[in-house]
């Protein structure tokens, strides 16, 4: 029996991005749908469940982005999957890797607030994770996102345990009205204790 083909709604495909979502020249594929409702969401349009987003399977997506294959190969770039929450589309991303081969760099920009099975599926096929941690404090996190961060912590441990900490960039924002610099530093200390060392500190603009 043939394996099922995964499909996902795609909110945008943005070409020729440089050093903004990973190494080299990248194409950003933004999936629609996210489990979080962050107060300062950067892509609120991806939360619209009523929008008739076009559905892509791996083949349709590969056909749409392979026009820039020479740029990817020349700069060690590739595809960055964002959203929304791309980790929810782990099956499609795995099928996409089978089509594009190993020379393109695949990056997933994620909140990590998904079931662990999605991360297990992504680990063998993704080159890099960019994780928007928000804040490691459970109360700050819930206040800002509307969800607990238990899955985030479990998945961070999973990534570190399987040797991917050095291939993971962690974004630790200062979130006006939700946390302070002391909370950012506490989050970084907690993450260091889990084995991570690549951090991006910045401030959300409201």
pLDDT band at 3 (very low <50, low <70, confident <90, very high): low
Question: Which tokens go with 22?
Answer: 């990973």
Tokens 């959300």 belong to 204
Q: Is the pLDDT of residue 84 over 50?
A: yes
Give the DSSP H/E element, type plus range, for residue 199: strand 199-203
The length of the chain is: 206
Q: Which CATH class is domain 7-203?
A: alpha beta
Percent of the chain with pLDDT over 70: 98
Task: Please say whether the beta carbons of 83 and 34 come within 8 A.
Answer: yes
Tokens of 151: 């899955």
Which CB contacts under 8 angstroms, 24+ apart, belong to 182-188? 183/135, 183/137, 183/140, 184/135, 186/136, 186/137, 187/133, 187/135, 187/136, 187/137
Tell me what percent of the residues of the chain surpass a pLDDT of 90. 88
pLDDT digits (tens, 9 = 90+) for 105-124: 999 999 999 999 999 999 99
**How far is residue 123 from each of residues 66, 162, 206, measured CA to CA in Å?**
23, 8, 33
| DSSP summary character for residue 24 | S
C-alpha closest to that of 112 among 122, 101, 102, 99: 122
- Which pLDDT does position 21 carry in this prediction? 82
Structural contact between residues 81 and 54, judged by C-beta atoms closer than 8 angstroms: no
Interatomic CA distance for residues 147 and 206, integer angstroms: 20
201 pLDDT exceeds 70? yes
pLDDT at 2 over 70: no
Q: Where are the domains of the chain?
A: 7-203
Q: Which residues pair with 170 in a beta bridge?
A: 131, 199
CA-based nearest residue to 93, from 67, 131, 66, 119: 119
What residues contact residue 186 under an 8 Å CB cut-off, 6+ apart? 136, 137
Helix residue ranges per DSSP H, 66-149: 69-75, 90-100, 116-122, 138-145
Q: Report the DSSP beta bridge partners of residue 80.
A: 28, 107
User: Whose structure tokens read 């950067």?
Assistant: 42
């Amino acid at each position: 029996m043939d394996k099922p083909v995964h499909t996902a709604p795609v909110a945008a495909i943005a070409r020729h991005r440089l050093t903004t979502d990973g190494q080299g020249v990248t194409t950003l594929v933004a999936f629609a749908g996210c489990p979080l409702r962050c107060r300062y969401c950067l892509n609120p349009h991806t939360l619209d469940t009523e929008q008739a987003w076009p559905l892509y399977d791996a083949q349709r997506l590969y056909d749409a982005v392979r026009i820039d294959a020479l740029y990817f190969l020349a700069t060690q770039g590739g595809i960055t999957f964002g959203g929304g929450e791309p980790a929810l589309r782990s099956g499609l991303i795995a099928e996409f890797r089978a089509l594009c081969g190993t020379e393109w760099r695949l990056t997933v920009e994620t909140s990590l607030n998904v079931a662990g099975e999605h991360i297990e599926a992504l680990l063998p096929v993704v080159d890099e994770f960019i994780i928007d941690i928000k804040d490691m404090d459970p109360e700050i996190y819930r206040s800002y996102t509307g969800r607990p961060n238990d899955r985030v912590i479990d998945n961070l441990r999973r990534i570190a345990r399987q040797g991917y900490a050095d291939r993971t960039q962690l974004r630790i924002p200062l979130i006006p009205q939700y946390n302070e610099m002391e909370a950012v530093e506490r989050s970084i200390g907690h993450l260091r204790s889990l084995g991570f060392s690549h951090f991006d500190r910045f401030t959300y603009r409201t």
